Amino acid sequence: MKKERSIDMKKLSDLCSTLLTIEIVMIVLLALCTTVPRLVGYNEYTVISGSMAPTIPIGSLVLVKSEDASQIEAGDVIAFQSHSSAVVTHRVVSKDDTAQEFTTKGDANESEDFEPIPYTNLLGKVVFSVPYLGNFLATIFSTTGKIIMGVIALVLLLAYKLFDKEK
């Protein structure tokens, strides 16, 4: 005689409810990761090149605090608008107060950046970085990521309702 397994609908319902709650909490926490820093004066950027590796790997989220150029010193990691309008995160090698320019270099680069960075291009000083979180947030908050998270939530909600009725 075969032993039949009975599916406990209550357990499936509870599992779907728990997973849905975890997804909602995760989305709220991730949204707070990008909202709270802005509220207290920080901007966040995702590092897209390896020029600062291993200090700041590709895909890291960097928090940048707006600073006056007078507060920046050699050795500080700054974010700035490059001459091509891209946001770049590099280390200050030296600064020239007379010319009002920074000389910068990526930690992984063998030589200094080709052109000095005018003080007016300074976005701020990097005060914190979290490896790989930038890529993760960019994926989650992309259109595709939002659709996937929505579909997962909808499937979990429908499964919860289905299993909840059958218990």
Are the C-beta atoms of residues 88 and 109 closer than 8 Å to each other? no
Domain of residue 57, residue span? 21-165
11 occurs within a structural domain: no
118 occurs within a structural domain: yes
Question: Which backbone phi and psi does 46 adopt, to 5 degrees?
Answer: -105, 130
- How many residues does the structure list for the chain? 167
115 occurs within a structural domain: yes
**Counted domains in the chain:** 1
110 occurs within a structural domain: yes
The band of 3, judged by pLDDT with boundaries at 50, 70 and 90, is low
Task: For the full predicted model, state whether its pTM sits above 0.75.
Answer: yes
161 occurs within a structural domain: yes
3 occurs within a structural domain: no
Question: Which backbone phi and psi does 113 adopt, to 5 degrees?
Answer: -60, 150
CB contact set of 60 (below 8 Å; sequence gap of 6+): 46, 47, 129, 130, 131, 132, 133, 134
Residue-wise pLDDT tens digits, 37-87: 889 999 999 999 999 999 999 999 999 999 999 999 999 999 999 988 899
| CATH number assigned to the domain comprising residue 104 | 2.10.109.10
